[in-house]
Structure 1
Amino acid sequence: MPVVMRQFEVSYSPQLQAASCESSGIQGFINKLGAAEDASLQLDPAGRVVSRFFNCEIATAFQGIHGAQNGVVAWQAFARVRGADDSHDLSPWRLFARAASDEDLVAMDRRCRLVHALNFFRLAEAATLGDLHLCVHDRLLSAVSSDHGRAYRRVLDSLGVDHRRIVIELPALPVGNEYVLAQVAASYRLNGFRIALNPVIDAQLGSLLNRIRVDAVKVNAQDLPNWHGAGIEAARSAVADGTRLIAKRVETEQQRQFAVEAGATHLQGYLMGHPEPGIPNP
C-alpha cells in the first residue's frame, strides 16, 4: 500500500472506527467531534466541520448548480481557508502551495474533500439536496500513481455516506494529456464515483469524450461564445447521451441566455448565488 494512502487512513482511523460503530453513522461521528479535545477535525461555533492544516483552518462553502429551467439540483463545495491568527482569509491555492511534497498535497486534498462531505451529508436535508461536486487538485493526478479514489471511498463507506452522489471534478489539463485524464477517470469510476470534466478548449472536448465516460462537462460561460462548431456539436452530442452540460461562472443575464441557447442544461455562477457556508433549506 502506498505511503500516502497509509498516512491518510491512519490519520483518521481512530475517529472513523468509532463512527462506524455508531448506529447513527455520520451524525455519531459529528457528535464525537464536538466532544474531542484535540483533533485535526473540529466543529466551529455554528456546528460546521472544520480542519486544522498547516496552522490554518479549512472550512467549506457551497454554491448551487441550477437546472436551466428549474432550481438547484446539485452543489459544488469550495475550500475556505483562514490564517492562524484568524484575522484574514487565504486563497485555497496559497494553502496548497505550502505543500512542498506530494505526500502533503495528497493529504491536504483528501482532507478538504472529507470536510466537504461531512458538511454536506450532516444536513438533515441532505437526501433532497442532490449531488455533491468535489474538485481534485491537478498535482494529485501525478502524485497518486494508481487506484484514485480508493482511500476516499473507504472513509465515506465507514461513515455510511452514499459515494454515488459525489461527482469528482477532474481538473483541466493541457491538450495532449487526455490519456492521463482517462486513466484517472477510469480509476475513480471503478471506485464508484461519477465524473465531471473541465476541458481546456472546445477542440479538446471531442477527444476527451471519446476516451472518458463522464456524467458532466463544465464550461466557462465566458468561453462559450468562442466555441466553434465541433466543440458545440460534441457538447450537444454528450447532452443527447444524458451528460449534463454545466455553464459555470455565469455572472450576467446575457451569459445565462447564451449558455441556454448553446445547449447548457445546467448553470452555476454569481448570477444565481455566491458560495456560502451553509445550504438553504430546499
Structure 2
Amino acid sequence: MQHVTLQHYLSRLQGSLASSNLWLDEQGRARGRYFNASLTSSFQSIRSGSDLRIVAFEGYARSYDPNDQGLNIWRLLDYVANDEESVELDRLCRLLHTINFYRQQTTSELDLFLSVHSRLLAAVEGNHGAAFRRILDVLELPHQQIVLQLPQITPSQRWVLTHVAENYRRNGFRIGVNAANLEQASDLLGRVRPDTLKIDVSAANNSAAQIALLEQADRGQCQVIFRKIETERQLAQLQTANNTVHPYAVQGFFFDTPRASLAAETDTSEPLSKQIELDSVCV
C-alpha cells in the first residue's frame, strides 16, 4: 500500500464537514475553501523522449467543477487578495495539489511541479519551504519528487529569486525557474543553478541559441522544458531545431489539457492531437 500515512489522513478528511477548509468530495478529490470559493486541483503532463512518455505532472488550482471546467483561481483572486492572503492561498494550493497527486500516484517515477506565486517571493521573510517540508514529512511523502517552480521576474527581483531558491534548496526541494526568453534562460542557468527551466516554445525561436541553451543546461544538470506547445507544427519545428543528444521535455495543449485525474492524462489510446480540446480557462 503506497503512502500509508496519507491514506490515514484522507480517511479522516473523508468524514470532514463541508464547512471545514479542507475536505474530500464524493469523487475522492481533496477540495479547499478560500474566499467562499471551492478549490481543487488539475494536472497537466510533462513529457520527454522520442516516445513523449510522461515524466511529470504540473498542478494547477481551479475552482471546483464536476466536469473539469473550473476556472483559474489565481485569475479570479489576484486583484482582490492582499499579500498575506495570497501567501495563504499559495500554501493551500500546494497542499491540495500534493494530496490530489499522491492519492492517485502508485509509483515513485513521476515528479510533481508546483508553482510559487510571485507575491510569495517578498512577502515571506522567514525560511522559504520549511513549513511545506514539515507537512510532507508528517504525511511521509517524498519531497525529492517535488519541483518548486519560481515565477518569471523583473530585473529588480533577481536577488530575491536567488535568495528564495537557496532557501528551498536548503529544505531539500528541487528548483524550477521560468524564463521569458533565451537570454534570461541562460542567465538563470548560471545564477540560480535550477534543476528545471521552462521557456515558451514561441520565445525559443532561434535554433542555434536553443542548442546552446540545451548544452549549457546539460552541463548544469538542468532539464529544459519547452511549454505552450499547441500544434503539431510547433512540436515538429522544435524537434527539427533541436536535433541534438541533449534531452529536453515538452508541455502544452497539443498533448493534453489540465484534468483532475492522472489516469485521464495517461490514456493515449487515441492520437494525441485527437485528445485535445483547447480550453481558454486552462492556462
Please tell me whether residue 113 in structure 1 is matched to residue 105 in structure 2: no
Larger helix share, 1 or 2: 1
Q: Which of the numbers 96, 112, 115 marks the counterpart of 1:132?
A: 112
Q: Distance in 2 between matches of 1:61 and 1:145?
A: 29
Q: Which of the numbers 213, 216, 224 marks the counterpart of 2:204?
A: 224
CA offsets, 1:85-106, max 9 Å, x none? x9x8433223432553322111
1:230 is displaced (CA, Å) by 5.1
Contact 1:185/1:195 (CA < 8 Å) preserved in 2? yes
Q: Letter of the 2:93 partner, please give it.
A: C
CA offsets, 1:190-236, max 9 Å, x none? 111101111122211222222112111111112221x4755652343
CA offsets, 1:117-143, max 9 Å, x none? 001111252434x10000011111011
Percent sequence identity is 35
Contact 1:172/1:199 (CA < 8 Å) preserved in 2? yes
Q: Letter of the 2:184 partner, please give it.
A: Q
CA offsets, 1:33-86, max 9 Å, x none? 001224211112210101011100111111110013231011111111149xx9
Q: Distance in 2 between matches of 1:60 and 1:90?
A: 11
Contact 1:60/1:80 (CA < 8 Å) preserved in 2? yes
Q: Letter of the 2:204 partner, please give it.
A: L
Q: Which of the numbers 212, 237, 243 marks the counterpart of 2:222?
A: 243
Q: Letter of the 1:77 partner, please give it.
A: G
1:187 is displaced (CA, Å) by 0.7
Please tell me whether residue 67 in structure 1 is matched to residue 48 in structure 2: yes
Residues 252 and 90 of structure 1, relative CA distance in 2, 3 Å threshold: closer
Name stretches of at least 5 consecutive residues in structure 1 with no aligned partner: 1-22
Q: Which of the numbers 262, 267, 275 marks the counterpart of 2:258?
A: 275
Q: Which of the numbers 239, 243, 246 marks the counterpart of 1:260?
A: 239
- 1:123 matched residue in structure 2: 104
Contact 2:16/2:24 (CA < 8 Å) preserved in 1? no
TM-score normalised by length of structure 1? 0.83
Structure 1 segment 1-282 matched on structure 2, within 5 A = 24-37=4-17, 38-70=19-51, 71-82=53-64, 89-97=70-78, 99-128=80-109, 130-225=110-205, 227=206, 229=208, 232-263=211-242, 265-280=248-263
Q: Distance in 2 between matches of 1:245 and 1:94?
A: 26
Contact 1:76/1:133 (CA < 8 Å) preserved in 2? yes
| Greater Cα shift, 255-264 or 183-192 | 255-264
Q: Letter of the 1:167 partner, please give it.
A: V
Q: Letter of the 2:130 partner, please give it.
A: R
Q: Distance in 1 between matches of 2:80 and 2:136?
A: 24
Q: Distance in 1 between matches of 2:56 and 2:172?
A: 18
Q: Letter of the 1:245 partner, please give it.
A: V
Contact 1:77/1:134 (CA < 8 Å) preserved in 2? yes
Structural RMSD (CA): 2.3
1:151 is displaced (CA, Å) by 0.7
TM-score normalised by length of structure 2? 0.83
Contact 2:181/2:204 (CA < 8 Å) preserved in 1? no
Q: Distance in 2 between matches of 1:77 and 1:178?
A: 25
Contact 2:214/2:248 (CA < 8 Å) preserved in 1? no
Aligned length: 255
Q: Distance in 1 between matches of 2:210 and 2:238?
A: 14
Name stretches of at least 5 consecutive residues in structure 2 with no aligned partner: 267-283
Contact 1:217/1:246 (CA < 8 Å) preserved in 2? yes
CA offsets, 1:228-248, max 9 Å, x none? 755652343112432111111
Contact 1:26/1:160 (CA < 8 Å) preserved in 2? yes
Q: Letter of the 2:261 partner, please give it.
A: G
